[in-house]
Amino acid sequence: MVQEKRGVGPYLTHVALSAVLNLPRLLPYHWRLPAVGWLAAHVVGPIAGYDKRIRNNLALACPEMPTADVEKLVSAVLTNAGRFLAEMWSGDAFFKRLENTKLSGPGLAALEQAKADGRPTIVISGHFGNYDAARAVALQAGYNTGALYRPMSNAYFNESYKARMEGFEGKAFEQSRRGMAQMVKHLRKGGLLAILPDQREDQGAKLSFFGRPAMTTLAVAEMALKYDALFIPAFAIRQQNGLDFDIMIEEPIAHSDAETMMQEFNDRLEARVRANMDQFLWIHNRWQLPDAR
């Protein structure tokens, strides 16, 4: 369960983020995204302390990285995070922007076959690029798509985030008892379920990510085994123009045991991140930091 954070700090962060996300909606879409990205990198991120989190995580995952490169990544990561939130807050404009985007990649045939067979499908991705772009394109391609999402720890901002997740076309299931029941029902009916299993799960298994122990959930792979679901990674990679995406469907991960399956996912995600370091949300405490409990 996510521990809700309340108080002056989280409230001020909520106010700042709300202003950053709502006021730029007056701008045309192609100006809005870079504007919010800049504000996230230069205003909101430093106020919220996200820049320090990114530096801490990079020090763990890439200790050999030169300081100058770390500082460039801090700005780039916050910029991508801002663009992602601007896209989410853009609603129909974001959805329309993706109308001509196609699913591609070596796993596409397997995904299409599962759809034709009515087989349950679990699409796994990470906080990378804009994972919601993949969900939008899957919806536009006719997949019965639902997504499981974890509430944000900032209790104030989470209300806005929840409204946008649930207001998005398709289905969205909050990580709660009620949401999980709805999710299982959707999956049993042969639906496609999108999940992001790349956050630290203290009740999971100690697997490897960037060569370091990373507590990783096994529940997603266990669910794939239980319901004989296609288990397949997908990644939405932001293009250089900052507005469009390549939606890559990778080869399915073969059913074996939950730890093996989730380690392969960690390896696949790491390869994607290493190819586009600025597109990963290095803000999350993926590893147990030395000064943490």
- Tell me the average pLDDT across 106-116: 98
Between strands 171-174 and 192-195, the pairing is: unpaired
Mean pLDDT along residues 184-207: 94
Strand (E) or helix (H) holding 225? helix 219-226
Average pLDDT along the chain: 89
State what percent of residues in the chain have pLDDT above 90: 73
Lowest-confidence region among 25-29, 148-152, 188-192: 148-152
Q: How many whole angstroms separate alpha carbon 109 and alpha carbon 114?
A: 9
Residue 99 contacts residue 140 (beta carbons within 8 Å): yes
What's the pTM?
0.88
3-state secondary structure of 23: helix
Those residues whose C-beta lies under 8 Å from the C-beta of residue 265, and which sit 6 or more positions away, are 124, 197, 221, 233, 253
Reported as half-sphere exposure (CB side, CA atoms, 13 A), residue 95 has a value of: 15
Angle 7-10-12 from CA coordinates, rounded to 5°: 100
